[in-house]
Amino acid sequence: MRDVAVVGIGINKWGELWEKSFRDIYVEAALAAINDAGVDHLDSMIIGCMSGGLFVGQEHLGSLMADYLGQKHLAASRVESACASGGLAFRHAFIEVASGISDIVMAAGIEKMTDVSGDGATYALATAADQEYEVFHGATFPGLYALMATAHMHKYGTTRDMLSAVAVKNHFNGSMNPFAQYPFKVTKEEVNDSVMVASPLRILDCSPITDGAAAVILTTVDIARKLGKPIIKVIGSGHATDSIALHQRPDITTLKATTVAAEKAFKMANKKIADINFAEVHDCFTIAEIIVTESLGFFPAGKGGEAALKGETGLEGKFPINTSGGLKSKGHPVGATGVAQIVEVVKQLRGTAENGRQLKKQPKVGMAQNMGGSGGSTLVHILEVA
């Protein structure tokens, strides 16, 4: 395989973007990535989108987005893996460049989730769960993650304050992110007293409904050097799946697909967990970040919540997690999340994270973990400054 680098990144301000259309949001982020990369053409484009059909009534995104980006006749396609659609788009773009099929590829993600009612958004998101055995019986994702949180608390003694510590930390980081949907700080008391959604999860444990897009440009290391760009290499990529329904898993306090995907990425990168300086992980709910950090191997089983409470995952902690603010503060336009994680990893590796979010000890290796549903699919990528 050829060595692959990320040479361009783009993201727009996330939130409830009533004044912008689905295609406008995408093109805004895509043009930002092209301008950042300084490339004069694309060979192909991979788009991550969970459910354009249900959220805005639009499918056939390859044709639509290539046309409105001014790239008519470009090889463009859409991929889907629920909330991991963005991570999957990045993996496919990486494979395309590494294999030699294309030299310059855009991986982008998009979702516009606020054009439907709250019930409509819940219905669309629930398509990522098991329709017959979970959704038919009334399960929603807050409910499924509440089951995981309850099991984790029972098995390991994880506490309410540990969940709140994740929210407080991520909102602190997100308060410095100019692209975040909710760039404000919260206190432990505010999280603990917020509206109950599905016990023990409260509204401030949950990521929001979001409109947004993100895009990155991948090319060969040789082309990156000619462009005069910092060499941020993609050195590891892992992809794995698990049973879509929680009741089919032997242990719902861990995420096996995340563990397997990470093992694959570590093997490709020839790295170990101790080599990773920081990570963007899928904190769709506060309990998700805790379980993901354990499943990746950053902390032993049952110790992720304690690590968050002690500040070990903060900007100045021994292992910073979600320097962007994560899904919790930055937002979660489901198809775009995985690509936005790569945007943040690249910023940190370049040393350009805004407004005080830049890690004081300049990182050399970063990880992004993006998952779909309640962990039925996971993508893990490792990037390194060459």
Summarised one tens digit per residue, pLDDT across range 45-104 is 999 999 999 999 999 999 999 999 999 999 999 999 999 999 999 999 999 999 999 999
CA distance 362 to 313: 16
Closest CA to 111 of 179, 7, 213, 5: 213
Identify the bridge partners of residue 366 per DSSP, sorted by sequence position.
278, 383
One-letter amino acid at 323 equals: T
Q: How far apart are the first and last CA of the chain?
A: 17
The reported pLDDT for the residue numbered 207 is 98
The set of catalytic residues is: 83, 332
Count CA atoms within 13 Å of residue 108 on its CB side. 36
**pLDDT of amino acid 145:** 98
For residues 252 and 149, give the distance between their C-alpha atoms in angstroms, rounded to a whole number: 9
Query: 220 and 103 in contact (C-beta within 8 Å)?
Result: yes
- Predicted pLDDT at 174: 98
Q: Is the dihedral of CA 86, 341, 31, 27 positive or negative?
A: positive
CA dist 146 and 197 (Å) reads 9
Residues of the chain with pLDDT under 70: none
Residue-range domains of the chain with CATH:
4-117+210-232 (3.40.47.10), 138-206+235-385 (3.40.47.10)
Contact 220, 340 (CB under 8 A): no
In this prediction, residue 125 carries a pLDDT of: 96
Enter the tokens of residue 219: 């090319």
Q: What is the pLDDT of residue 103?
A: 98
Whole-model pTM over 0.85: yes
Please list the residues that pair with 106 across neighbouring strands: 45, 217
Q: Where are the alpha helices (DSSP H) in 75-159?
A: 85-99, 118-126, 141-156
Query: Residues 371, 282: contact at Cβ < 8 Å?
Result: yes
Contacts of 250 (CB under 8 A, 6+ apart): none
**Predicted local distance difference test score (pLDDT) of residue 78:** 98
Tokens of 142: 């807050």
DSSP assignment of 131-153 equals TTTTGGGT--HHHHHHHHHHHHH
Instruction: Give the whole-angstrom CA distance, residue 96 versus residue 236.
Output: 14
Per residue, what are the HEC states of 215-253? Answer: EEEEEEHHHHHHHCCCCEEEEEEEEEECCCCHHHCCCCC
Q: CA dihedral in degrees (191, 192, 197, 203; nearest 10)?
A: -10
